[in-house]
Chain A
Amino acid sequence: MSKQEILTAIRRGLKRGPLPSDQATMLRGHLAQHPRHLIPARSRLPHSEQVDLFVRNVEKEFGSVTRVADMDAVPGAVADYLAAQNLPGSLIMAPHPDLRAIPWSARPLLDIREGRAEASDAVSVQHGFAGIAETGTLMLPSAPERPVTLNLLADTEIAVLRASAIVGAYEEAWDKLRAEIGGMPRNVMLITGPSRSADIEQTLELGAHGPRRLHIVLVEDAATA
């Protein structure tokens, strides 16, 4: 069987048999403890400055951010963004309790459907699990209430993110995921800005196959440090 042949060939190359049990135990410990390596200092900041760094990095990568005071202000921010971009008010929204609790009826012109995205959907509203200040990256783990297609099929993706969900480095986001979700979700997307390609003459063009626009509505729920 190929599996055994490959493992045998690897061990032959490494000039040893299967790992002795004490070494295997040590490696199992490494997997269980998943120790961190060197983390760049750039994101080691007070939380409010991490939020600012996150916003700066999102904008550097051609995303956009609107900061609002609370969840009640989200429908207005979404409606204003769509109007400014000349986009229709039809939204496909993640069926996430946080998003469902938003008073969308305050903006009756928004037409909201919940579920996964289809090819015909122009604008999606996604629930942001975490924001990573280091590079302005969104962490979006899949779940029934956070479908992956919302990140991919719509021309415009709007993510609603609580400022309290912003962390400094990727490692902190992994720990948040381990603490709040437990096991590894089926799909975890780390998204930094809208889709792009430089395949034509190595020159950057936005809007390849994924969303052409990535907008983040940032809800300032964190106590400012």
Chain B
Amino acid sequence: MHIATSPAFKENAHAALANAGLQKALARSGPSFIARRAAAVANLPEFEKLRDTARDIKNHALANLDFYLEAYEAKVLESGGKVHWCNDAEEAREAVLAICEAAGARTVTKGKSMIGEEIAINDHLEKHGITPVETDLGEYIIQLRHELPSHIIAPAFHLNMEDWEDAFRKAHSDLPAHRQFNERRDVLIEARAKLRSKFLAADVGITGANFLIAETGSSVIVTNEGNGDLTQTLPRVHIVLASIEKCVPTLEDCTSLLRVLARSATGQDFSVYTTFSTGARRPGDLDGPEEYHVVLIDNGRSGMLGTDFQEMLRCIRCAACMNHCPVYGAVGGHAYGWVYPGPMGAVLTPSLIGVDKAGHLPNASTFCGKCESVCPVRIPLPKLMRHWREREFERHLTPASVRANLGLWGFFVRRPALYRLATRAAAVGLGLFGRKKGRFTRMPMASGWTAGRDLPAPEGDTFFARYAKAQRAGQV
């Protein structure tokens, strides 16, 4: 497992705000994702209805997940493949290693896979003398820099051109030292040349799966680069890593989900390569892997069924929620401290590594609701974050000062007359004190808040008093 730094979210966020390179990357890339999605959505009048369809398809699949997984496995076996069921990350790592060792693998190419990050498969293979090579361009530089991806579809979201040049000069020391990196294209061409030989030499290719299809026993990958296809086509063995909730019933179900996936993710109408793989090489085929393995991983998903968090299992990993999140936009993905950042990570991470470690994440939300409003499968992310806050409170994981203040607030709010009196006194008092400047730059017990901004002084009565007044005047 990657060591989660989620417990240190506050410190991580602080460091992120002070990281000039990260802030440059966030300022550049954040707005473009939002604009591209908006354009794609505007170009498809049925988009909102398609989101309902997508939600319903996933709900149906999850409600019958046991049935569809067994139907899926039967089809994989029929097409000459094998399914390895794994309860947790450790079983999955062992299953992958055993397949690689049986194949006598020395190098393994990899397509981008978030479940691969979740089970930290690369470290495990390396420990056993097998070299994994990430082939998605973003994942490739992440691997060179020994980092986690900072975004689920754009792993190198946090990096700038100078980081690429720096990493490539260090890693490709066999190339002429005086070569120029004048434009992005130069980086791409060098990566293409470097990775081409890796694709051809690999013994095993590992990909993730955006979907598994019960009707046909297919695994589906969605990419723009074509690296996933080279990974799963050229080596003798193809291993698919997939978590259990990826399974959908039919090609038609999958197609409807694909219609909302790329539009929500990159704002493309459709990704460049959407590929359905079904079993091993067939008689007469001139290419394709001789072995096809699916490592099917639970790792905490089944435990989410039947709970408040079942809806999170609809997630199709498009990243629209983080692309539109003001918190992600301010601190980037690494601050979240584990594999999944942004709102989807704030809900999923506590489920997978525990709310005791990841309790800060569901608190890192302004509850603006933007994430839910763009989610292609309509996951109520703010509501689920609130559920985590409640659980955190119930389990006494909330800091004592917060609990004490909430208790104090609770005392007043249960006594409306007292609450109104107290807030009125506070509003009038603060108004008087702050009359001169109209704002407070410092406030006892709220220094965390006023450190970054001023507190405006109240300019009159409380909301309740104004509302009552307006009601009496017949204005509301």
Contact = CB atoms under 8 A, between A and B. Distances in A.
Interface of A: 1-3, 5-7, 9-15, 18-19, 23-24, 27-28, 30-31, 34-38, 40-42, 57, 61, 115-116, 119, 134-135, 137, 142-144, 147-149, 151-153, 170-171, 174, 184-203, 205, 207-211
A147 B286 contact: yes
Contacts of A208: 137, 188, 191-192, 224-227
B298 A142 contact: no
Contacts of B258: 170
B105 interface: no
B280 interface: yes
Contacts of B287: 116, 142, 147-149
A198 B267 CA distance: 12
B226 A152 contact: yes
B50 to A, nearest CB: 6
A143 B282 CA distance: 8
B15 interface: no
B184 A142 contact: no
B154 interface: yes
Given A6-B244, A40-B45, 14 more contacts: A7-B70, A9-B302, A10-B302, A31-B214, A31-B250, A34-B252, A144-B285, A187-B288, A189-B273, A190-B273, A194-B272, A200-B188, A208-B192, A210-B230
A125 B91 CA distance: 43
Contacts of B28: 201-202
A148 B229 contact: yes
B231 to A, nearest CB: 9
Contact of B188 (A119, A192, A205): A205
A2 B285 CA distance: 34
B46 A210 contact: no
Interface stretch (B60-68, B358-366, B400-408, B438-446): B60-68
Contacts of B188: 197, 200, 205, 207-208
B135 A6 contact: no
A5 to B, nearest CB: 6
A26 B470 CA distance: 59
A147 B279 CA distance: 15
B447 interface: no
Given A7-B70, A9-B298, A202 B154 contact: yes
Contact of B155 (A19, A143, A195, A199): A199
B63 A5 contact: no
Given A41-B46, A184-B278, A191 B286 contact: no
Contacts of A171: 252, 255
Contacts of A189: 229, 273-276
A186 B277 contact: yes
A199 B87 CA distance: 33
B286 A187 contact: no
A186 B278 contact: yes
Interface in B153-196: 154-157, 159-161, 164, 184-185, 187-188, 191-192, 195-196
Given A184-B217, A198-B224, A203-B184, A190 B270 contact: yes
A174 B255 contact: yes
B256 to A, nearest CB: 4
A141 to B, nearest CB: 9
A222 B168 CA distance: 51
Contacts of B229: 148, 151-152, 189, 210
B69 A31 contact: no
B226 A210 contact: yes
13 contacts: A2-B86, A6-B302, A9-B302, A14-B66, A24-B67, A27-B249, A40-B44, A192-B274, A198-B154, A208-B137, A209-B199, A210-B227, A211-B226
Interface stretch (B121-129, B304-312, B341-349, B372-380): B304-312
Interface residues of B, number: 102
B216 interface: yes
B249 A31 contact: yes
Given A24-B67, A184-B217, A193 B249 contact: no
A40 B41 CA distance: 12
B218 A35 contact: no
A40 B234 CA distance: 36
Interface in B416-430: none
B367 interface: no
Contact of A195 (B66, B250, B272): B272
A209 B250 contact: no
Most buried by A among B268, B278, B287: B287
Contacts of B310: 13
Given A190-B273, A199-B156, A210 B225 contact: yes
B412 interface: no
Contacts of A195: 224-226, 272-273
B79 interface: yes
Contacts of A41: 45-46
Contacts of A27: 64, 67-68, 71, 249
A195 B199 CA distance: 16
Interface in B310-353: 310
Given A38-B256, A195-B272, A199-B154, A6 B230 contact: no
B83 to A, nearest CB: 8
Contacts of A207: 188, 192
B272 A144 contact: no
Given A13-B304, A209-B230, A174 B251 contact: yes
B280 to A, nearest CB: 7
B259 interface: yes
A13 B303 contact: yes
B284 interface: yes
Given A14-B63, A208-B188, A184 B29 contact: no
Contacts of B157: 202
Contacts of A184: 79, 216-218, 276, 278
Interface in B10-62: 25, 28-29, 32-33, 44-46, 49-50, 53, 57
B138 interface: yes
A133 to B, nearest CB: 12
The 4 closest A-B pairs by CB, nearest first: A210-B226, A13-B305, A208-B225, A9-B302
